[in-house]
Chain A
Amino acid sequence: QQQVKQSPQSLIVQKGGISIINCAYENTAFDYFPWYQQFPGKGPALLIAIRPDVSEKKEGRFTISFNKSAKQFSLHIMDSQPGDSATYFCAASNDNQGGKLIFGQGTELSVKP
């Protein structure tokens, strides 16, 4: 049973466009929702994270939108650049369960010049 479902599996966007990746979760006890970015040959690196007390968080071109009632959250990448091409993972965790991350399946983003 997959607790965090991520879509799409792959995404192709033109340079300057908006990339949108969606995630849905089941466990209402989750209280931390990070997004990780992974380049080939590297480990995942934290990109941006949100807690359920806010509905949106923005850092530069990256925005998380969070809908607690729908148990969904999404990553928006504005003005997408070729350098954003990577695999993106959403995740969720519960501080009371040691902080272990439950990941989505990942989205391979390709930004075409």
Chain B
Amino acid sequence: EAGVTQFPSHSVIEKGQTVTLRCDPISGHDNLYWYRRVMGKEIKFLLHFVKESKQDESGMPNNRFLAERTGGTYSTLKVQPAELEDSGVYFCASSYARGTQYFGPGTRLTVL
């Protein structure tokens, strides 16, 4: 069974540009989470989808971040416009009901 996949694995952009990260959860998983790890710090929660609905977006840093989950399948996280402090590794995780969260390999975002 395929695990959680994320695309791209790396992204380097200039400050002010737009970047879109994609996450494909494990098939059948209704819960999808986004997290971010800024260099050397803890992995921080960003938001939680149940199917296509945002359940909790309390961790989203500001309105430059927009997450969607089309049809309750894959999810995208758009950063527009990107700032230097947005650099970090963005992880997606999925789970069935409130079970174990399975993480993707992450997208390393560098904003120059």
Contact surface of A with B, Cβ cutoff 8 Å: 2, 4, 6, 34, 36, 41-46, 49, 89, 95, 97-106
Contacts and interface: CB of A to CB of B under 8 A. Distances in A.
A101 B45 contact: yes
Contacts of A6: 42
B25 interface: no
Interface in B46-65: 48, 50, 55-56, 59
Contacts of A106: 42-43
Contacts of A99: 31, 48, 95, 98, 101
A89 B37 CA distance: 12
A100 B42 contact: no
A41 B43 CA distance: 15
A103 B103 contact: no
B42 A4 contact: yes
A43 B105 contact: yes
B104 interface: yes
Contact of B56 (A2, A43, A100): A100
Contact of B42 (A43, A46, A97, A103): A103
B59 A100 contact: yes
Contacts of B93: 43, 101
Contacts of B35: 101, 103
Given A99-B31, A104-B42, A106-B42, A44 B59 contact: no
